[in-house]
Amino acid sequence: MHVLILGGTTEGRRLAAELAGDPALRVTSSLAGRVAEPRLPAGEVRIGGFGGPAGLAAWLRAQHVDALIDATHPFAGTISRNAAEAAAEVHVPLLGLRRPSWVPVDGDDWHPVDSLDAAAAALPALGERVFLTTGRQGLAAFAHLDLWFLARSVDAPEPPLPARTEVLLDRGPFDLDGERAVLREHRIDVLVTKDSGGAATAPKLEAARELGLPVVVVRRPQPPAGVPTAPDVAAAVAWLDARRG
């Protein structure tokens, strides 16, 4: 049974590791190739795009894929839509592996928005020194703002950037002590994040709560309609086991 995992996330790597030892499975993980030195999962790995839904459908046919699991980032909306369209075309079962969203707790000062542009519009009323943790793509949405930014990403972002930007190259998981230190050292007064979910980058939310900082949270895009989802690797494995009877 050939399983294709659209990966690049912690969950994708954990799922590949869980499945790779099964001799009855062929496991291939596909990475988008947007990170210069990605953490490679167990099993076979391919890097790069497919060429849209038609290209993915052709790959599924040519490689005789029996099950497709979309374990991409919750904000990777295009590949998720492509996966849904391709899977429907070739009649391959598709599962979305989606870590649950973060949920605010007592003491949080969250400001939910629907886009990076909306996040940028909210910032001037909230603070002047911004910790921007939305990744290296999309920073152009903030380029017009006369605020100070600390932008954290795995790889260096490309222009346009805000005029006053310090780049912090780092890769999660992050711990609470480290996030406290970043906020204090850089005198951050507002945090911007996408609702990525999961534990790897959640400590920044706790650190912001402790310091009483507002947090602008970009909501996730809606997933493709009609695609079943699993909240964790165990549920994804159970779904796959049911597919093979």
The pLDDT tens digits for 156-207 are 998 999 999 999 999 888 999 999 999 999 999 999 999 999 887 899 999 9
User: How big is the CA angle at 81 (ends 77 and 84), to the nearest 5 degrees?
Assistant: 140
pTM of the complete model: 0.86
**Do the domains 109-218 and 2-100+222-243 match in fold?**
yes
Phi, psi of 141, deg, nearest 5: -65, -20
**Domain layout of the chain by residue ranges:** 2-100+222-243, 109-218
- For residues 127 and 245, which has the higher predicted lDDT (pLDDT)? 127
What is the number of other CB atoms lying within 10 angstroms of the CB of residue 51? 12
Indicate if the pLDDT at residue 243 is higher than 80. yes
Assign 136 a pLDDT band (cuts: 50, 70, 90). confident
Q: Does domain 109-218 have CATH number 3.40.50?
A: yes
What are the strands, taking DSSP E only, across the chain?
2-6, 26-31, 44-47, 67-70, 94-97, 109-113, 129-133, 148-153, 164-169, 190-194, 214-218, 229-230
Q: Where are the alpha helices (DSSP H) in 3-76?
A: 10-20, 52-62
Rounded to 10 degrees, the C-alpha dihedral 23/198/38/22 comes to 0
Peptide bond connecting 203 to the previous residue in cis, omega within 30 degrees of 0: no
> pLDDT band at 231, cuts 50/70/90?
very high
The pLDDT score that the predictor gives to residue 172 is 84
- d(C-alpha 52, C-alpha 81), whole Å: 9
pLDDT confidence of residue 132: 97
Structure-block tokens of residue 195? 């609702």
100 CB neighbour count, 10 Å cutoff: 12
The phi, psi pair for 27, rounded to 5°, reads -115, 120
Q: Considering only the top CATH level, what class is 2-100+222-243? A: alpha beta
The pLDDT of residue 190 is 98
